[in-house]
Chains A and B, each alone.
Chain A
Amino acid sequence: MPPFRISAFGQLFRRFASTGAGSVGRQGGASGGGGGGGGGGREARDSIFLHRPLRLIIFTAKYLAFTHLFLEYGFWPSPASGPSMLPTFEVMGEWVLVSKWHRLGRGVSVGDVVAYNIPINDEVGVKRVIGLPGDYVLVNSPESASDAMIQVPQGHCWVIGDNLPASRDSRLFGPVPLALIRGKIIARAKPNWDFQWVRNPLRSPDQPSDA
């Protein structure tokens, strides 16, 4: 009977599950002795978690931490709901993909849709960036009673929902610190699972527009 070989993925898995680099070799050596019994021997070599609760716990912790790292610094898929971005996003059943490369407002420009921590409560909002530090923005809605403008302070941005009457945004809580930006929304899945990239609609004059 030819010796049972572990696949490349299995080896990676095994390495992830080990408590340290050294224990991988020892593990292989320990289970190499029991060759009899066909399926039983195979199981003893294959299942690295059998009779090893500590190893299972460590593997789970490493796996969860890796997932957390990916979601925090890579890409973060999330359901989105609410009427505040209405022509762009529907009220219910939307999924968005947040690029965490743009966390803390890195590389965000006017016209981008961002996910941000709402400064006055513990929720996450999705809005469009209207102004960056130094820009002048309307404090209230256009065509409202007041035409007052302010300059967006250093390190802040002005975020507004696309559906002005049904949006609680910078008109309510003022400029949002860039440090509260969780990321930029780069893609969406509509309720019927139709995938679309989310692009910045603003173009420079020399670039032709999509529409």
Chain B
Amino acid sequence: MATWGGAGRRLKFFGQFTHYLIGYATWLPPLIWFNTSVAQITFISGPSMYPFLNAEYNESRRQDLCLVYKLYARKDLAHGMLVTFRNPDDPYKITVKRVVGLDGDVVRTRAPYPYEYVQVPEGHVWVEGDGDRSKDSNYYGPISARLITGKITHILSPWKRAGRVKWWEHPERPGVQKARA
């Protein structure tokens, strides 16, 4: 026993180590489920929602930290909401934009879009960024509502702008003929 004491202790250590490791690993599936279907905290990159998000993007490299609420993401969509969706051009990219038109609405489009007016088709939404440098529905057209993964409900990180996202107080975009009130 004396000669094998060190090895035995080491074995016991590894046994306990794997024991604890497996014990904590069983919490991974609930964690992943929570992050993909309930809520997630994420950094916003890029100026497309300037000045609402990343208001200091031309002054510092700091990015806004936001809370994305993902439960029932496609329910109760309204004009002005901030939504996250999988980019129709790149399935691995998640994009943040503001909902401008819901299905049935007639939207007056902006620069790169080939037609002046567009009626948003069934099951689709028209999304636009607040900033001028935004690649949005004016580039790739109305997006399917099924691409939407969540809504941005809170800003967490620059402390002075932290708090609930009051999308209903945001001025309406002109040139949208709503199909429903």
Interface residues of B (CB under 8 A from A): 19-24, 26-27, 29-30, 32-33, 36, 86-92, 121-124, 140, 143-144, 146-147
Contact = CB atoms under 8 A, between A and B. Distances in A.
A61 B30 contact: yes
What range describes how many residues of A lie at the interface?
20 to 34
A55 interface: no
Interface of A is mostly: helix
A20 B23 contact: yes
A22 B16 CA distance: 10
B91 A120 contact: no
Interface in A103-125: 104-105, 117-122
Nearest to A117: B146
28 contacts: A15-B19, A15-B22, A18-B26, A21-B24, A24-B23, A65-B33, A66-B29, A68-B29, A68-B33, A69-B33, A72-B36, A104-B91, A119-B123, A119-B124, A119-B144, A120-B121, A120-B123, A121-B122, A154-B90, A155-B89, A155-B91, A177-B86, A177-B143, A177-B144, A177-B147, A179-B86, A180-B144, A181-B91
Given A61-B30, A120-B123, A177-B144, A24 B87 contact: no
Contact of B27 (A12, A62, A105, A120): A62
A191 to B, nearest CB: 30
Contacts of B32: 65, 69
Contacts of A178: 91
A179 B88 contact: yes
B124 A177 contact: no
A29 to B, nearest CB: 14
Contacts of B123: 119-121
A156 interface: yes
The 8 closest A-B pairs by CB, nearest first: A21-B23, A119-B144, A179-B86, A179-B91, A65-B29, A120-B123, A104-B91, A65-B30
Nearest to B88: A177
